[in-house]
Amino acid sequence: MDILKDNDFMAIFIDMFRELPCLWQINHPHYKNQTKRKAALDQLLEFVKMVIPTADMTYLKMLIGGLRSTYLREHKKVQDSQRSGAADDIYVPRLWYYDRLHFLAGQTEPRPALSNLPSTLPSPPAEASDAQPGPSRQQHVEEPSLSQGSLSQEVAGPSRLPDIQVPPLHLQRQSGRKRSTLGEAAIGLFWKATEALRTPHTVEEDFACITACKMMEMEEGQRLL
């Protein structure tokens, strides 16, 4: 199963990413703080591993870079079609999560890449592949322009992905019980991230609290279904 088609997971992941502005908001006071950014990425990776145990930091950076690249490309198409002046030709984004990524609009800071990520990600271990049949060969993905030397380059640097093609590492099938606790676990990770990112103004803590409430409501809706 392709992780990008898992709407429940991607909705929570994007919301978590939005509530960690040090990873994408170029004017955030911690945007260039390597320690804070590393802590935020670690929290996101911990959440991703709940669904994809084989995921690593390289996979996480590729996922974030792919989401950002695809959104900015779609956003540019919308703006270009609006400038054309033809109402019938307004471009309609094809991504279901396009509106959810609007917080990335205007958050572009061009800079040269100091190093590149590998163009392929490791295939899942044999046991993960056996759990759910699917192609096990590595799939080529054009690399986004990310910097290993500065953590501020991992997410905000320009990306060259022609289309989001994060390798579909196979999800382990979650039981109903495990699936129902996904949001609760994400809430716990947010509180841990708050401790790591805490500042005198505790802005991150406010964001974490708001997101926790949203995800608790999401879990209630899922239980009704």
The pLDDT tens digits of the residues spanning 23-69 come to 999 999 999 999 999 999 999 999 999 999 999 999 999 999 999 99
The two structure tokens encoding residue 94: 């094809």
Closest to 168 (Cα-Cα) out of 143, 144, 142, 138: 138
SS3 118: coil
Cα 157 to Cα 178: distance, rounded to the nearest angstrom: 35
What CA–CA distance (Å, rounded) separates 75 from 91?
A: 9
* Angle in degrees, 0-180, between the axes of helices 182-197 and 7-18, rounded to the nearest 10: 20
**pLDDT per residue over 182-202, tens digit each?**
666 666 665 555 555 554 444
Instruction: Flag whether the pTM goes above 0.75.
Output: no
**Does the pLDDT at position 154 exceed 50?**
no
The predicted-structure confidence for 101-123, as pLDDT tens digits, reads as follows 999 998 876 544 434 444 444 44
Q: How many CB atoms sit inside 10 A of residue 76's CB? A: 11
Give the long-range contacts of residues 210-217, CB within 8 A, separation 24 or more: 210/19, 211/15, 211/16, 211/19, 211/187, 212/187, 214/15, 215/12, 215/15, 215/183, 215/184, 215/186, 215/187, 216/183, 216/184, 216/187
Residues 181, 145 contacting (CB under 8 angstroms)? no
Residue % of the chain over a pLDDT of 70: 46
Q: Which residues contact 99 (CB under 8 A, 6 or more apart)?
A: none
Q: Residue 130: is its pLDDT beyond 80?
A: no
